[in-house]
Structure 1
Amino acid sequence: MQVSLLASLPHTTAEAYAQVLAACKALFEQKNKDYGTAWRILRLPSITDQIYIKAKRIRTIQEKGQQRVADKVEEEFVGIINYCLMALIQLRLPADAPLEMDYQALSTYYDTCVQETWALLDNKNHDYGEAWRDMRVSSMTDIILMKLHRLKQIEDNEGQTLVSEGAAANYQDILNYCVFCLIKLAI
């Protein structure tokens, strides 16, 4: 993924969101050409752990102020976004869905999940007055890690919650916080 695609994002949230997700989908499509849908073999807890690894790396770099592996933090946020979309797609597919999927069908699932996640963001942005614009990237990283711990608890409870939102809402929130981070890092 070329982070330079995200170097100068539009000011409006809707335009910036669309540009970030277009870059994420372009990478998703390229990786699909390389690997197909090998990721479909992952169970949701494994996807959650993949997201955790990336978020933990971001936090470690933020805390230490340096990194030894060349992969950029922005690329990690993009990876988290795509893993969240993989999880949202997995949640939609029936248990007996084939591991290999046609890219056109996969692309439709991807776009539908993006549209639903954008709608959630748009509603929350309305109610919260785009408070994320005044937040620190490090705080959003912490929120992502908190939501991952929530997801792990939901998974440990076999998806059952008493009063809390489920796994899909947490993946959507994580995705949206990653978009916010990328927008803030590009400003």
Structure 2
Amino acid sequence: MDNGAGSYGRSISIRQGELAASKVPRRPFPLLSSLPLTTPDHYDLLLARCRALFLAKTHDYGTAWRILRLPSVTDQIFIKANRIRTIQETGVQLVADDVSEEFVAIINYCLIALMQLHLPPDTPLDLTPEAVATAYDHEAAENRRLLLAKNHDYGEAWRQMRVASITDLILMKLHRVKQLEDNGGVATVSEGVEGSYRDMLNYAVFALILRGEGREEEKK
């Protein structure tokens, strides 16, 4: 689904230093269990691929995503997460796009939301590729710090979770964000929309790591 701002979940390959769109593979990420990587290593690897895809899309489409208001970005994330859950529940997939690609799209749409939140109000719609890369890297670095802090406190409990449960957590966060948006973005005791976007981004990273380690999707 193009969603009017380009699909931010299609896989890419890097050849001779240039970004090139590739045919979508069955599993876009390698079996990570064969690599001696820590969770921060996994994060860096996955975010580097998401970044390369995002910048390739920026080259093709410019910054059309800047037109999207936050509720529209939230809805795009919902479309991706809901498709993942539908496939998990039915076990049937009629469109070739791999589920992992949807998690990649969730990561990039969350980063779009975070960039939109923090870019100054007078920022023009059209940004240079350098400005996009700077904003993207800033938000990705902030999320990395959050991931490491929570990973320390919770002891990587997410590694014992099922991918389907992570999908449910993303959908739960989406419903919270929608409620906050309907309330004008005002939260009384809960975190605001920024915290939810950051959590959803990291949940999608966890799901990609688990899928890369060979976890099967469970049908509820």
Which category of TM-score, normalised to the shorter sequence, fits these structures? Answer: over 0.9
Distance 1:150 1:110 in 2: 24
Q: Give the Cα separation in 2 of the matches to 1:5 and 1:182.
A: 10
TM-score normalised according to structure 1 size: 0.97
Q: 1:134 maps to which residue?
A: 160
Mark the runs of 5 or more structure 1 residues left unpaired by the alignment. none
Whether 2:206 is the aligned partner of 1:180: answer yes
Q: Equivalent of 1:6, from 4, 29, 35?
A: 29
Deviation at 1:93, TM superposition (A): 1.1
Provide, for residues 30-59 of structure 1, a one-character-per-residue CA deviation record: whole Å limited to 9, x for no partner: 111110000100000000000000000000
1:66 offset after TM fit, Å?
A: 1.4
Give the structure 1 partner of residue 21 of structure 2: none
CA distance in 1, matches of 2:155, 2:133: 31
C-alpha contact 1:5 1:23 (8 A) present in aligned 2? no
TM superposition shift of 1:6:
2.2
**2-structure distance, mates of 1:114, 1:88:** 9
**Which amino acid in 1 is paired with 2:155?**
G
In 1, Cα distance between equivalents of 2:55 and 2:116? 17
Cα distance in 2 for residues equivalent to 1:74 and 1:133: 17
Alignment partner, residue 40 of structure 1: 66
Aligned mates of 1:97, 1:22 — CA distance in 2: 25
User: Which residue in the other structure is 1:154 paired with?
Assistant: 180
Q: What secondary structure is seen at the aligned counterpart in 1 of 2:73?
A: helix
Q: Is the 8 A contact 1:62 1:138 kept in 2?
A: yes
Q: Are the aligned partners of 2:80 and 2:102 in contact in 1 as well (CA < 8 Å)?
A: yes
Identity %, equivalent residues: 60
Quote the offset at 1:5 in angstroms. Answer: 5.7
Structure-2 residue corresponding to 1:112: 138
Distance 2:72 2:57 in 1: 18
Give the secondary structure class of the aligned counterpart of 1:117.
helix
TM-aligned CA deviation for residue 95 of structure 1: 2.3
Q: What SS does the corresponding residue of 2:102 show, helix, strand or coil?
A: helix
Is the 2:28–2:101 Cα contact (8 Å) retained in structure 1? no
Structure having the higher Rg: 2
Match of 1:19 among 20, 26, 45: 45
The amino acid of 2:112's aligned partner reads M
Which residue does 1:93 correspond to in 2?
119
Larger RCO, structure (CA 8 Å, separation 6 or more): 1
Structure 1 residue 84: Cα displacement: 0.2
Query: Which stretch of structure 1 is more off in the superposition, 6-15 or 145-154?
Result: 6-15
- Give the structure with the larger helix fraction: 1
Gaps of 5+ in 2: 1-10, 13-24, 214-220
Q: Number of aligned pairs?
A: 187
Q: Is the 8 A contact 1:151 1:170 kept in 2?
A: yes
1:96 Cα deviation from its structure 2 partner? 2.5
Q: Distance in 2 between matches of 1:97 and 1:56?
A: 32
Residues 1:54 and 1:166: Cα distance change in structure 2 (over 3 Å):
same
CA contact (8 A) 2:177 2:193 kept: yes
Runs of 4+ aligned structure 1 residues displaced above 6 Å come to: none
Partner of 2:15: none
How many Å separate the matches in 1 of 2:42 and 2:31? 9
